[in-house]
Structure 1
Amino acid sequence: MSNLAKNELETQCQEKPCSAIERVIKPRDKDLGEFTVRRSIPTTEQKQIGPWVFFDHMGPAVFQPGQGVNVRPHPHINLATVTYLFAGEILHRDSLGSEQAIRPGDINLMVAGKGIVHSERERRELTDSMHQLHGLQLWLALPEKDEEIDPAFYHYPSADIPELEVDGVTVKVMMGSAYGKTSPVKTFAKTIYLEARMDHEQSLKLPNTEERGLYVVEGEVEIDGVTIEEHSMAILSGKQDLTVTAIKSSRVALVGGEHLGKRYIEWNFVSSRKERIEQAKQDWKDGKYPKVPGDELEFIPLPE
């Protein structure tokens, strides 16, 4: 947590006990040249939230013709990636031969397991015109028994993701179960991922689970008397039946689930074992990973 966010939380907690919130993370903007990314986890203070080990907020960004997303092939192990867009499009390709355009409302789940390579680019028609990008990219740790499963790719179109009204609030159950709905998106451990759009002064009772984090994509909300600003992540305590209230029109994402135990992260590799990451690094340097069909000429070298 930044010193400013920490001081703000401590000031509010002097007036009312903050038993609902363990900390507030205010990620720094990371300028990637053509768009901005904000990483809430992992941080020094918060490595994981349930099975989630990585949470990036991309954009919103507007690209001029000739600019856009252009991520060369790179590897992953022992995790699953989850990509969800509010606006724009990304072209996913992987070493299984998958080729899928990710569009707003869709969920793409790529299970790395024992190893996969993928790229994230754009269709030429998109890059040639002015376009935008806004979305979330998340990583899930796999349970130890599933870390070395065969890699797989799953695509869930927007129409398959459950959406409902909860006390007037529009909620999407992206992964897991909540409010009597269950998402079709595959999970490997107890996992929750929700999105909610809230008008001014609307409230939403949050589902209970072992660990939870609430990220404010747009707007500003309040939990247990504490204000959570736009682009901030509130790490919630085990206090049950918490309610979030919108101070202004807001979009929030709730992630959480069961704690899976310590995970090591280095570059694009996640594992419960340090030695497995070292092996993955060497295998990438030695060219032992499969190529991405249709994207064989380039790759991202292992960082020094």
Structure 2
Amino acid sequence: MLELVIDARAAAISENMKVKRILPFRQRRMVGPFIFMDHAGPVTNAPATVSSLDVLPHPHIGLSTVSYLFGGKVTHRDSLGVEKIILPGEVNWMTAGSGIAHSERFEDPSALAGGELEMMQTWVALPEKDEESAPSFSNYTRDELPVFTDKDVWMRLIAGNAYGLNNDVKTHSPLFYIHAVLKPGARFGLPKEHSERGLYIVKGSIEVNGHSYQDGQMLVFSRGADPLIIAKTDTVMMLLGGEPLGDRYIWWNFVSSRKERIEQAKEDWKQGRIILPPTDNDEFIPLPDEKSKPAGGPNPEPLS
């Protein structure tokens, strides 16, 4: 059965980059290992200064960031010296582990033309044994993320396994992440391989159990549910989930199973112990003011 409907909330990740924030939600912090989900764009009105969209260097621990574009271009730079332009249909998978800093720059004005810039970013929490692993980065091209089709359905498996499909994207725990496109009238079901499952409607509308849902909403289903999803219009969805990892603390850009590790990460960023990207180190996002943005308890809301 349908367990919860989450309406995306407005948030800002830079001066002019507004997003729809889906996870975490106060009634549902995680779906499988997915602890964070933002939907940016489409950017229909490019600002006079394109750099005002940029997300300056900032730190992470205890998670993997997963960036996926529908349109546009984004330049990623990180502490490892990686500099990579991600294109639509590709995946940037950065594992922070013990600590990394990265930036996301929108450096090609032509990529903003016609409202093309649109992306999803999720964070995948790491199992406890991997929380202090060495940071790493991988880019997977469209050729490495094969597309599968059925009647009125197109889908790309971004990571994990689902519907008996898999690819070579390296993950740290059982999960699935899928970009799906449905034509009107298409009938679709959720993968049954995982215990926690949800879908986010990027565009369009669907019907589940006689009720309609539209873009900007995430539907989370209970264990064992086998819902029939019917597309009412041309619809784009992101399907995600997996096996739960247990409680996590989350504060700003830090995720950990241990509250004291969050406190250490705060001090590490303040003291410059998390290295800035070597080709993007002239500016960075400072640690938020803790007086106005308290850490809270297990799984407090992420703060930007």
TM-score, normalized by length of structure 1? 0.89
Q: What's the CA shift for 1:127?
A: 7.7
Residues 111 and 117, structure 2, Cα contact 8 Å, conserved in 1? no
Change (3 A) 1:176 1:284: same
Distance in 2 (CA, whole Å) between partners of 1:150 and 1:212 is 29
Which residue is 1:251 aligned to?
236
Distance in 2 (CA, whole Å) between partners of 1:206 and 1:130 is 33
Residues 24 and 35, structure 2, Cα contact 8 Å, conserved in 1? yes
Which residue is 2:265 aligned to?
280
Which residue is 1:24 aligned to?
5
Runs of 4+ that moved beyond 4 A: 124-131
Alignment of 1:257-276 (within 5 A): 257-276=242-261
Distance in 1 (CA, whole Å) between partners of 2:138 and 2:213 is 33
Residues 249 and 259, structure 2, Cα contact 8 Å, conserved in 1? yes
Q: What's the CA shift for 1:103?
A: 0.9
Q: Secondary structure at the match of 1:248?
A: coil
- The answer to whether 1:214 aligns with 2:214 is no
Change (3 A) 1:128 1:80: closer
Deviations 1:206-248 (A, max 9, x none): 1011101110000001122232211100011113432211011
Residues 208 and 229, structure 2, Cα contact 8 Å, conserved in 1? yes
Alignment of 1:8-47 (within 5 A): 20-30=1-11, 34-47=16-29
Instruction: Report the aligned-residue RMSD.
Output: 1.8
Q: What's the CA shift for 1:298?
A: 0.6
Q: Secondary structure at the match of 2:288?
A: coil
Letter in 2 for 1:255: L
Alignment of 1:1-304 (within 5 A): 20-30=1-11, 34-62=16-44, 63-64=46-47, 66-68=49-51, 69-123=53-107, 126=110, 132-208=116-192, 209-304=194-289
Residues 70 and 120, structure 1, Cα contact 8 Å, conserved in 2? yes
Residues 50 and 256, structure 1, Cα contact 8 Å, conserved in 2? yes
Distance in 2 (CA, whole Å) between partners of 1:262 and 1:179 is 28
Distance in 2 (CA, whole Å) between partners of 1:158 and 1:247 is 28
Letter in 1 for 2:49: G
Letter in 1 for 2:182: M
Q: Secondary structure at the match of 1:145?
A: helix
Deviations 1:29-52 (A, max 9, x none): 235653431111111111000000
Letter in 1 for 2:266: K
Structure 1: give runs of 5+ residues left out of the alignment. Answer: 1-19
Residues 85 and 106, structure 1, Cα contact 8 Å, conserved in 2? yes
Structure 2: give runs of 5+ residues left out of the alignment. Answer: 290-304
Which residue is 1:8 aligned to?
none
Deviations 1:44-98 (A, max 9, x none): 1110000000011111113145325311111000100000010111100000000
Distance in 2 (CA, whole Å) between partners of 1:130 and 1:163 is 26
Distance in 2 (CA, whole Å) between partners of 1:237 and 1:246 is 21
Letter in 1 for 2:95: V
Q: Secondary structure at the match of 1:45?
A: coil
- The number of residue pairs the alignment matches comes to 285
Q: What's the CA shift for 1:124?
A: 5.2
Residues 50 and 109, structure 2, Cα contact 8 Å, conserved in 1? no
Q: Secondary structure at the match of 2:281?
A: coil
Residues 33 and 124, structure 2, Cα contact 8 Å, conserved in 1? yes
Q: Secondary structure at the match of 1:119?
A: strand
Letter in 1 for 2:188: L
Distance in 2 (CA, whole Å) between partners of 1:240 and 1:232 is 19
Residues 64 and 130, structure 1, Cα contact 8 Å, conserved in 2? no
Distance in 1 (CA, whole Å) between partners of 2:9 and 2:232 is 23
Residues 66 and 123, structure 2, Cα contact 8 Å, conserved in 1? yes
